Structure 1
Amino acid sequence: MNGTANPSPIEDLTEVLATVADLVAGVRHDQWRDTTPCPEWEVRDLVNHMVIGHRLFTGILRGEAAAAPGALDPKADDMLGDDPGAAYRGATEELLAAFRRPGVLEQVFRVPAGDVPGVAAVHLRAVEDLVHGWDLARATGRKPRFPDEIVERELEFTRAKLADVPPEQAPFAPPQPVPDHAPPLDRLAALLGRRVTPQQWGGALSGC
């Protein structure tokens, strides 16, 4: 043992969001209308969904918003404008600032998945962007650079909490088979409904 403590969930979330921000910044102009592993969502819809989610959670943490049905529908409101990269970065900066407010991690909030303490909400946002980062990378032909140790921590969290989420509130499709030797991100993607095979990346069931 080296006595080094594990990073905090907020530190992990910060790194996940920075990695997704790089993926968003790298989307070419001609890729925004490409299809994604999420049925019925194009690349722009997917990024818009992530921005909407970050802004919704920020509002919930501040006591300024509620988790209303359909609040995460990316086709209901365009949050990206003319600069999707800036919109994504701005939303993540506000989210992280909201999570860092004193006492937030110990409070209980009603989010789309139910009532959770703030620290669980941090994990939920990390898992959300890990998996949608996977979706975005597959849609744009890139490889996400999420550290395996962060993904493993979120895999552990997801396995422990998934059974507690009512089926009607589950934000992802049912788990899909994946080889035990698959990378952690592919195992997380499969756990949350993506089809992952050794021969072909991409593809998913509904439930994004």
Structure 2
Amino acid sequence: MPLDDLVHAQAATSRLLAALEPDGWHRPTPCPGWSVADVVRHLTVGDRAFTVSLAGRPYDLPALTAELAPAAVGHLPAAYDAGAARLREALAAADPAAVFPTGIGPMPSGHVAELRTIEALAHGWDVAQGTGADLAVDEDVAERAIAHSLALMERLPPDRTPFAPPQPVADDAPALDRLVALLGRSVVSD
């Protein structure tokens, strides 16, 4: 199921990127100081980094970031799609009993899939907020991402805090809103 959820989350984000107007790439997002293009580059670099990890090698994040930095915004949807597909292929081929090096400690492939699902959903939401669009995701996928986020937060080393403090959100809010609030985003109700 983690791989199915990742496929769903990445497809939802991909649909947003495919529909993005040229002026949308430079709009701000809820990530301080990051434009829509910056968020998409971050997602793409992350997928590439974890693909390297799943090959059993540590990744060079500055080098991966530098490779993608000059990409024109018009090429970012294709770069995201290609990186997402390579990550899914690496996950499908990974030994589920093996543990792989990551920037937040060793992880089995199932946890990598869960983490990348969380990233695709949270940053897809960021892109949606920056562009005034909606990220259409299944409630069950977002609910599982909440559960995985809570478990991930328990596994993080004390010196690693990749998320901002949780923000208030209504208990009956959509699961995606509850997920991003858990990860530190302010959700404005209509």
- Which residue of the partner structure matches residue 204 of structure 1? none
Cα offsets for 1:113-135 (capped at 9, x unmatched):
21211111110000011000110
The question of whether the paired residues in 2 share the 8 Å contact of 1:21 and 1:88 is answered with yes
Q: Which moved more, 1:55-64 or 1:118-127?
A: 55-64
Q: Determine the C-alpha separation between the residues in 1 that align with 2:108 and 2:172.
A: 33
Q: 1:150 to 1:71 in 2, by over 3 A?
A: farther
1:95 equivalent in alignment to 2:81:
no
Paired residue type of 1:83: H
Paired residue for 1:49, among 21, 24, 42? 42
Deviation at 1:170, TM superposition (A): 2.4
Deviation at 1:110, TM superposition (A): 2.0
Q: Determine the C-alpha separation between the residues in 2 that align with 1:149 and 1:43.
A: 26
Deviation at 1:196, TM superposition (A): 1.2
Paired residue for 2:121, among 130, 137, 154? 130
Higher helix share: 2
Q: Determine the C-alpha separation between the residues in 2 that align with 1:187 and 1:113.
A: 23
Q: 1:130 to 1:198 in 2, by over 3 A?
A: same
Q: 1:166 to 1:102 in 2, by over 3 A?
A: closer
- Which residue of the partner structure matches residue 26 of structure 1? 19
Q: Determine the C-alpha separation between the residues in 1 that align with 2:184 and 2:32.
A: 12
Q: Which moved more, 1:169-178 or 1:89-98?
A: 169-178
The question of whether the paired residues in 2 share the 8 Å contact of 1:113 and 1:171 is answered with no
- Which residue of the partner structure matches residue 5 of structure 1? none
1:184 equivalent in alignment to 2:172:
no
**Matches for 1:43-192 after TM superposition, within 5 Å:** 43-66=36-59, 77-78=68-69, 80-81=71-72, 82-103=74-95, 105-192=96-183
The question of whether the paired residues in 2 share the 8 Å contact of 1:67 and 1:112 is answered with no
Q: Which 4+ residue blocks in structure 1 deviate beyond 3 angstroms?
A: 74-77, 79-82
Paired residue type of 2:23: D
Q: Determine the C-alpha separation between the residues in 2 that align with 1:58 and 1:20.
A: 18
The question of whether the paired residues in 1 share the 8 Å contact of 2:99 and 2:108 is answered with yes
Q: Where do 5+ consecutive residues of structure 1 fail to align?
A: 1-7, 200-208
- Which residue of the partner structure matches residue 203 of structure 1? none
Q: What is the count of residue pairs matched by the alignment?
A: 189
Q: What TM-score, normalized to structure 2? A: 0.91
Deviation at 1:102, TM superposition (A): 4.7
Deviation at 1:146, TM superposition (A): 0.7
Q: 1:18 to 1:112 in 2, by over 3 A?
A: same
The question of whether the paired residues in 2 share the 8 Å contact of 1:61 and 1:99 is answered with yes
Q: RMSD over aligned Cα, in angstroms?
A: 2.0
- Which residue of the partner structure matches residue 12 of structure 1? 5
Q: 1:158 to 1:67 in 2, by over 3 A?
A: farther
